[in-house]
Chain A
Amino acid sequence: MEVTRTRVDDLRVRQLRAQQMLRGELAGKDLDEYVEERLLFTTIETAQNWARKNAIFPLGFGLACCAIEMITVIGSPRNDLARFGAEAIRFTPRQADLLILSGRVSIKMAPVIRRLYDQMLEPKWVIAMGACSSSAGMFNNYAVVQGADKFLPVDVYVPGCPPRPEALIYGIMKLQDKIMGSQDMGWRERYGAVGTEETVA
Chain B
Amino acid sequence: MPDATGLELIAQRVREAVGEEAVTGTSFHREQATVQVAPERVHDVLAHLREADEPWEHLMSVHGCDYLPEEPRLAVHYQLLSMERCDRLNVKTRLGAEDPHVPTVVDLFPTADFQEREVYDMFGIVFDGHPDMRRILMPEDYSGFPQRRDFPMGGEPVLYTFNEGKYPRWYE
Contact = CB atoms under 8 A, between A and B. Distances in A.
Interface of A: 107-108, 136, 139-144, 146
Interface string B67-81: 000000000000000
Range, interface on chain B: 10 to 19
Given A142-B146, A143-B146, A136 B155 contact: yes
Nearest to B147: A142
Task: Say whether chain A's binding surface is mostly helix, strand, loop, or mixed.
Answer: loop
A142 B139 contact: no
A107 B139 contact: yes
A136 B155 CA distance: 9
Contacts of B139: 107-108
Contacts of B60: none
A161 B17 CA distance: 56
B155 A141 contact: yes
Nearest to B154: A142
B156 A140 contact: yes
A24 to B, nearest CB: 70
B138 A143 contact: yes
A140 B153 contact: yes
A146 B146 contact: no
Nearest to A136: B155
A125 B166 CA distance: 37
Contacts, number: 29
Contacts of A142: 146, 151-155
B158 interface: yes
Q: Sort A-B residue pairs by CB-CB distance and give the 3 closest, nearest first.
A: A142-B154, A140-B155, A142-B146
17 contacts: A107-B139, A108-B137, A136-B155, A136-B156, A140-B155, A140-B156, A140-B158, A141-B155, A142-B146, A142-B151, A142-B152, A142-B154, A142-B155, A143-B138, A143-B146, A146-B155, A146-B156
Nearest to A139: B155
Contacts of A108: 137-139
A141 B153 contact: yes
Contacts of B137: 108
A198 B154 CA distance: 35
Interface string B83-94: 000000000000
A146 B155 CA distance: 6
A115 B34 CA distance: 48
A64 to B, nearest CB: 15
A131 to B, nearest CB: 13
Contacts of B156: 136, 140, 146
Contacts of A140: 153-156, 158
B138 A141 contact: no
A154 B146 CA distance: 29
Greatest chain A CB density within 10 A among B138, B152, B158 is at B138
A141 B137 CA distance: 15
Contacts of A139: 155
Nearest to A110: B139
A113 to B, nearest CB: 14
A136 to B, nearest CB: 7
Greatest chain A CB density within 10 A among B138, B152, B155 is at B155
